[in-house]
Amino acid sequence: MAYEQLIESVELSGEERIRELKEKAYSKSEEIRKEAKGKDGAIKAKHLEAVKESVEVERNKAIAKIKQESRMQAIRAKEEIYQRAFLEAQKILSSVRVRSDYESIFKKMLKEAVAELEGEAIRLHIDKRDEELCKKLLPELHLNCEIATDITSAGGLNASTKDGRFIISNTIESRLEKAKGLLKSEISATLYGG
């Protein structure tokens, strides 16, 4: 019987030991679960923060792209208005020759061009339609210039040295081109306030 008691005692002791081990294992597994849950929250928070940052970056990129597209559309619209304004000016100026004050306009343009080449032998390049007017004005202005009817323009003239080294463009078209560059910012400021 002592043997049976010994076996029973060992069994009881073994069961007690198994119960203790189970409790320790359960306690350890709960501790691991809690630790994992805490890490899980930190990992989720870390990923959530990364996603938020990524979304913010993409949002900022989209906003920047929209702003850039808006600026480009505004620039294109301004340029279109600017071009239309000069096309309209070109249409108006193309009929300058029929104006009653064209003779005084041509005379002024002639004086300006000749003054630029003062002291040189000058050749005037004019539209055939201005030949009579030019021939009339040269003696009035005490000018001795060669005339070549070799350009087509809405009005005005070009003047050059006889050897062609220097050319002064003073046609309606050349003046309009100069005005485009000089007046662009002024027109923009008038149309758009800055």
Residues 176-185 pLDDT 10s: 888 887 777 7
Which is more confidently placed, 105 or 33?
105
**Residue 18 and residue 59 in one domain:** yes
Task: Give the end of a domain, one of 60, 93, 126.
Answer: 93
CATH code for the domain in which residue 163 is found: 3.30.2320.30
**Residue 151 and residue 73 in one domain:** no
CB 95 within 8 A of CB 132: no
pLDDT at 194: 58
Range of the domain at 46: 1-93
**Residue 70 and residue 119 in one domain:** no
Nearest to 153 by CA among 127, 125, 180, 179: 127
**Residue 39 and residue 88 in one domain:** yes
The average pLDDT across 87-108 equals: 87
- pLDDT tens, position by position, 44-79: 777 778 777 877 888 888 788 888 887 888 778 777
For the chain, the domain total comes to: 2
3-class DSSP state for residue 99? coil
Task: Give the end of a domain, one of 93, 109, 132.
Answer: 93
pLDDT at 131: 95
